[in-house]
Amino acid sequence: MAKQEVNWSSNYAYRAPEIAHPRTVAEVQELVKQATDASPVRALGTRHTFNDVADPGEAGRLVNLAELPAHINIDSERRIATVSAGLRYGDVAIELDKQGWAVHNLASLPHISVAGAVATATHGSGSRNGNLATTVAGMTFVDGSGELVTLRRGDEGFEGAVVSFGSLGIVVDVELDIIPSFQVAQTVFLGVPYERASEALDLAYSVSVFTDWSPKSVNQLWVKARVEATGGTAAAPALEASVRELGATPALHKLHPIASVDAAATTAQFGEPGPWHERLPHFRLDFQPSAGEEIQSEFLLPRRHAAAAIAAVQELTEQITPILLVGELRAVAADSLWLSTAYSTGDDDWTDGAIAFHFTWIRDQAAAEGAAALLETALAPFGARPHWGKVFTEPARIPALYPKFDDFRALVAKYDPRGVFRNAYTRALGL
């Protein structure tokens, strides 16, 4: 029996008594064939989740893919990179950049696995940037019968399979859309009024608004501007003028989103151009990201409701600020992936994309769950969808937030007919 495993921030201890380390895909297939609905299996990634999404339970088995052969194969003609699902985005990004390629965006930290981030619709920021799952062109997974399945964009069920939080199988390969490598310059500003926070998200390629939700104003504005081939930093004065018009001023020293944490862990600031993978994340790959000992919640809602939702969260300042390390607002473009937190039918409230309300709490589980419950109630009128891998308290409410949820149920029945990937998390969702 293996020692008890915990997640990245140690707020969740996996109940599974055993962890397997397959070295081949055939071994993954055999592990799945051995599983039953009473003894399920779930893949274990880089553990940057804060709930039981990956936990197969006390009678189940965790499957760590870290010992599978790693590969990053680039098809320049198709502009596709096929990567091992368990690799970290940061490691994939370094290799892509060496060969002159990039993915369109990265999350706030590059330490997360490709498969885990995709499966939970994890995202960066940018009004025109879809979440990380939107770059998936194909995926290969071991389904509930132990068979290898490959689905590519255009195949039946593909749009339901990409964001599936492990419910269809164990993903072993992911095909990602790639684009030519590019540079980004990041500048941090201070003091944007709340009433202009949503507007600030449109200033550049990727923008994050950090706040402790105190009454005065937003604390920090992180602006990541794409540096075009001809421009160098020529656009910087115009960008700075736009930010100043919002009422913000440039920071005079390097900052961490959490005021009490050393800024050495953060990516370069002050408008210094650098490779996309060294600027789009907030945190450096070679450092401990964020605060470490923390719990996270996040809720995404239609961008058009941003102002009203910001006002609703401000009403909770007294309850949430005492346990909040930092809050963050980001923009995410709409997409057509069935269980993406930015999913849109094309003619609904989500067509303008989503605004993400992120909360990093102190590591107090009861307090974090209490705060999450307050936020769920406050943001419910706007159709807010919780991040699949973070703390939320009302799973029964979630299916109604996704027009294609019943279709997803059918997809689960097709690829996991024996129920070997079901766990407490999926059952709470009615799967």
Would you list the domain boundaries of the chain?
18-64, 72-180+405-418, 183-394
Structure tokens at 348: 């609904």
Q: Over the stretch 381-425, which tens digit does the pLDDT of each residue have?
A: 999 999 999 999 999 999 999 999 999 999 999 999 999 999 999
Architecture of domain 72-180+405-418: 2-Layer Sandwich (3.30)
pLDDT at 215: 78
- Could you give the angle at the alpha carbon of 33 between the alpha carbons of 31 and 36, nearest 5°? 95
What would the mean pLDDT of 46-70 be, rounded to a whole number?
A: 95
| Mean pLDDT score, 91-109 | 97
Helices 306-314, 365-379: axis angle to 10 degrees equals 140
Average pLDDT of the segment spanning 190-196: 91
Residue 204 — very low, low, confident or very high, per pLDDT cuts 50/70/90?
Answer: very high
Q: How far apart are the C-alpha atoms of 185 and 269, rounded to whole Å?
A: 7
State the pTM of this model: 0.95
Q: Give the residue, 87 or 216, on which the prediction is more confident.
A: 87
Average pLDDT for the chain:
94
First to last CA, the chain: 29
Q: Please report the pLDDT score of residue 239 as a whole number.
A: 86
Q: Grade residue 237 by pLDDT with cuts at 50, 70 and 90.
A: confident
pLDDT at 1: 42
Q: Which helix (H) or strand (E) holds 376?
A: helix 365-379
40 neighbors 419 (Cβ within 8 angstroms): yes
Residue 345's pLDDT band, with cuts at 50, 70 and 90, is: very high
Residue 291's pLDDT band, with cuts at 50, 70 and 90, is: low
Q: What is the pLDDT of residues 62-74, one digit of tens each?
A: 999 999 999 999 9
CATH code of 183-394, in short, is 3.30.70.2520
pLDDT of residue 229 exceeding 90: no
Confidence label for 115 from pLDDT (cuts 50, 70 and 90): very high
Alpha-carbon span 272 to 250, nearest angstrom: 14
CB count, 10 Å around CB of 381?
Answer: 12
State both tokens at 378: 């406050």
Instruction: Give the pLDDT confidence score for residue 290 in this predicted structure.
Output: 59
The predicted structure's pLDDT at residue 230: 41
Whether 3 has a pLDDT exceeding 80, the answer reads no
β-bridge partners, 296: 360
